[in-house]
Chain A
Amino acid sequence: MKTLPRLIAVWLMLLVAVGTLRSLTPGYGARRYLDAMDRPFTAPDFDLVATSTALAFLLLGAWLTGKVFKLLLLPRITGYLAFGVLVGPSFISLVAPNVNPLLPQAQMDHLRIFSSLAIALIGLTAGGEIKIDLLRRGIKQVLGMMGLVILAVLSTVFIGLFLGRSMLGFLAELPRMELIVVCLMVAVLATSNSPAVLVALLSELRAKGPMSETSLAITVVKDLVVVVLFTVASGLGYSLLHANGETASQGSLVKDLAWHLLGSIAAGALLGALMSTVLHHLSRHMLLFVLAMSLGIVLVSESAHFETLLVALSAGFILSNMWPDRSAELFHSVEELSLPVYCIFFAIAGAKIDLAALAHLWPLALAIVVMRSIAVWGGITLGGRLFSMPAPARNWVWTAFIPQAGIALALAASIESLFADFAWGVSLSSLLLATIAIFECFGPILLRLGLIKAGEATG
């Protein structure tokens, strides 16, 4: 019983220590100095120097918060997110605008490399978890349930927003065509869910069973479908709103989409095969290998404009299904690395949550949250019944599709960029961020409850 107060005491010590350090070492920019031979050089800015401390701070703080949350019977990743929110720039600018945040934006930017690596590792884990036998056996169920949930969410959110526009903030003032596009984009974004949260929670709770397997398989396939949907919808929306004769070429759209999706899958498969060849000759320093391969996945994805998560998923899937013996140790190392990766990834995600947007747009965001949640529950539960998913998993599997995080954030940023020349572009983006923030916060709590109720985790 003494554990909780002690953990909180250490957690507070950490906050005080870093807070004191930040007040003792005021920030500075890059400076030009002379060396002893009178030759100039540039000394780095404070934020770059302080990033190593920021990494340790995030890692330890998120881990401790996760431990405290676990004792309070809450998911640990909610703890990681909460810690990020607490130390990030958004929270402090709301409660004490004159105080510097413990984790400034510049240091978060320097930590970007860890977020990219985290996505690769999460993808590898998810890909490794999906077995080809399961897909063969349950492909109908996976596709059917996925189709139903996408349809339910798309139609509910689109129709709900369209019909309730007069009560929903800035939507009331939009011309019809623009309203349609906004409703369409919000609805498409609502179809996405978070593979990262799902993988992290399954790993945290060591959940096993039909709900875990099916939800993971649906999430992975849905990730592909959402990319297609989003690309088509954004292309369509863009063409509708730029009606001065400019339209996105359908041929180029299809070619581009094919390159993006098939290219990601093919690149992942190739990297998986390459990893297997190297693994054949490798007997030690597996963690370094995992790190190198994650860097490789990020590099290939970013330079060819592939989706990192898809590339990693594909690589993990190929490795675990084609070379299960050879890759067992690799996945063991990925598992070892997973906790620090989740701590940093979700803490950064938490620090990025835009609380100002949430405070401003919460009624509209809440309306979307309610509509999406009902649609997810209805669509997936119906799918579970139609495709004979066993109880109690089919009653709780909907909770796996509630959390939103990384992909949704990327889509929101893309929407903002695509519709930047419309007055409502920023409002739409803020609304989406506010919605994602709500799902980010309560999604994992709901999913944990669902996994426990379905009898697939003990908590």
Chain B
Amino acid sequence: MHGHVPIDQFQASAVLTLAADEGSGAGGLRIFAALLVLSALALMVTSKSFYRFQRNRLTARYMSGGWLAVLIGFLLGRWGANVVTEEMLLEVRPALTFGLGWIGAIIGLQARSALLRAVPTAVRRWVFVDALVAIVLIGAVSVALLSGSMRQTGFAWWIAPVGLLITTGIGWAAETRSLGEERSPAGMHLAVLVQAGAGLAAMVAVMIQGLLILLPTRADGGEVIISFSTGGLRLLATAMLAAGVGFVGRYLLQQAGRERRELFVVYIAMIALISGIASELGVSPLFAAMLCGIVITNLGGPKLREFDRFVLRAEQPVAILFGLLAGVFVDPRIGLWGWMLIIALTLLRLLVKVPLMRWSLAEYQPALPERSPLFLAPMRQSLVAIALGVAVIVDEASEMNQELLTIVLLVGALSELLPFLLAWWRRDGASTTASKHAHATGAGA
């Protein structure tokens, strides 16, 4: 309750705002300012005027991958202008949980059974092997490089950090236009395969992270332990919750009728409910919302299709917002182990992902353009990696998780650059060879 106001401090303007100011203060205002800056920037970056910067292929790639947003977020954050800090963002943690739920729903809604059945076996095999390779290779490299810096040796402590590096290593960016895709039917077909694989891999990554996070739990003393019973219960509760929200959501959408604002209430409530309850239970909101999205998309019905469209309509601003958030959470004080991880994980993407794609799609090879830049697509990190990194911080806002997010982001940024350099080098090499050939032919003539 407010105290007595001395007469010399009596201000008319303060009278009405006294009640409104309750519990806000300067901290509250700064949070409002931070949210305003983030949403204004998200609007700016997704505006049409901003698209002119995408004419250049490299800038297009960095913008479509969300890296520009990450950079802006970093410049706004503690290490830049200090306008938006991680403390402010953690104060609005429920909003972040809601955002993660939204992303989870976007991923899950792609899992319509008819659509999944249409994905060629080769692509499914590609995603499966990619995930397997990530688990084995990235897992091994991460354990080896993290062991120097980890003070806790129990297996349970390793699950979350290694799990994050593995799951962010699974899959690739779905966006292919900025790579300069082929206009030929074969090139377009390859682009579709890349996109289908990216969608599937995103589901696999969220699923693995969701399942991994179920197991470790904090004991009363604060130490991390593995509890299969808690994990099992959490999994059961999540599955029931996803199914329950899906089925009840269908009924509620029918009740909402045709009015958009009624539908809007149900949409928001469904996402907030699933992500909120998941985070209370210690389950990844991304995972729970993805399961719910899978249930909804497979229940069918015109109302649920509208839910699909509604959720997907906000895909771009949500992605940009998460890019900005990730940028704010970046902690550049990563030690030697961090840089070694960045180099190792980037090299792994470079050396493993491209041959794996060629091997997996071998049966399509004759029909595909041999030197298509689309073959470099799997090197680019998936946008979902940003959400996975932010999710870990929303769960536990530790310095270590911030450093891990920084590593994931830097691997992603480098992975964007490398295919561009390779494509440029290839083109340069090809044009040099062609000119030499032309020169030689001319000399011969």
Residues of A in contact with B (beta carbons under 8 Å apart): 3, 6-7, 10, 13, 17, 21, 25, 31-39, 41-44, 48-57, 59-60, 63, 67, 109-110, 112-113, 116, 227, 230-231, 234-235, 238-239, 242, 246-248, 252-253, 256-257, 259-260, 263, 281-285, 287-289, 291-292, 295-296, 298-299, 302-303, 305-308, 335-340, 343, 409-414, 416-418, 420-421
Contacts and interface: CB of A to CB of B under 8 A. Distances in A.
A56 B16 contact: no
Given A53-B277, A339-B264, A343-B265, A281 B18 contact: no
A36 B151 contact: yes
25 contacts: A3-B255, A13-B248, A31-B222, A36-B158, A41-B399, A44-B397, A49-B93, A49-B279, A52-B94, A52-B95, A53-B273, A53-B280, A56-B268, A56-B272, A60-B265, A113-B32, A116-B20, A281-B47, A302-B20, A302-B29, A305-B11, A343-B265, A410-B16, A413-B18, A418-B15
Q: Is the contact region of chain A dominated by helix, strand, or loop, or is it mixed? A: helix
Interface stretch (B35-43, B106-114, B189-197): B35-43
B265 A339 contact: yes
A248 B10 contact: yes
B276 A54 contact: yes
A190 B83 CA distance: 42
Interface stretch (B1-9, B180-188, B343-351, B411-419): B1-9
Given A292-B39, A413-B22, 9 more contacts: A35-B401, A36-B158, A53-B277, A56-B271, A59-B268, A238-B7, A302-B20, A410-B16, A416-B1
B35 A409 contact: no
Interface string B265-294: 110111111011101110000000000000
Given A42-B397, A60-B269, A21 B18 contact: no
B149 A37 contact: yes
Nearest to A62: B265
Given A21-B280, A57-B273, A231-B12, A335 B261 contact: yes
Contact of A413 (B2, B10, B46): B2
The secondary-structure label for the interface of chain B is helix
A325 B248 CA distance: 40
A256 B12 contact: yes
A38 B399 CA distance: 10
B32 A110 contact: no
Contacts of B370: none
Given A36-B150, A110-B94, A256-B13, A63 B399 contact: no
B32 A299 contact: yes
A35 B146 CA distance: 13
Interface string B79-105: 000000000001111110110010000
Contacts of B264: 336-337, 339-340
A252 B14 CA distance: 12
A39 B20 CA distance: 38
Contacts of A113: 31-32, 92
Interface string B391-418: 0000011111100000000000000000
A279 to B, nearest CB: 11
Contacts of B29: 299, 302-303
B23 A55 contact: no
A39 B317 contact: no
B18 A295 contact: no
Given A44-B93, A295-B39, A340-B268, A420 B3 contact: yes
Shortest 4 CB-CB contacts between residues of A and residues of B: A52-B276, A53-B276, A413-B19, A56-B272
Given A56-B273, A230-B15, A256-B13, A417 B5 contact: yes
B273 A282 contact: no
Interface of B: 1-5, 7-8, 10-24, 28-29, 31-33, 35-36, 39-40, 42-43, 46-49, 90-95, 97-98, 101, 149-152, 157-158, 160-161, 218, 222, 224, 244, 248, 251-252, 255, 260-262, 264-266, 268-273, 275-277, 279-281, 314, 316-317, 396-401
A336 B260 contact: yes
Contacts of B317: 285, 288
B3 A55 contact: no
A285 B43 contact: yes
Contacts of B92: 113
Given A39-B399, A302-B17, A420 B39 contact: no
A204 B445 CA distance: 85
Contacts of B262: 63, 339
B91 to A, nearest CB: 8
Contacts of B275: 52
B400 A112 contact: no
Contact of B272 (A7, A21, A52, A292): A52
Nearest to A67: B255
A380 B2 CA distance: 36
A247 B10 CA distance: 10
Nearest to B97: A52
Given A42-B397, A59-B269, A288-B43, A302 B281 contact: no
Given A59-B265, A257-B12, A288-B43, A35 B399 contact: yes
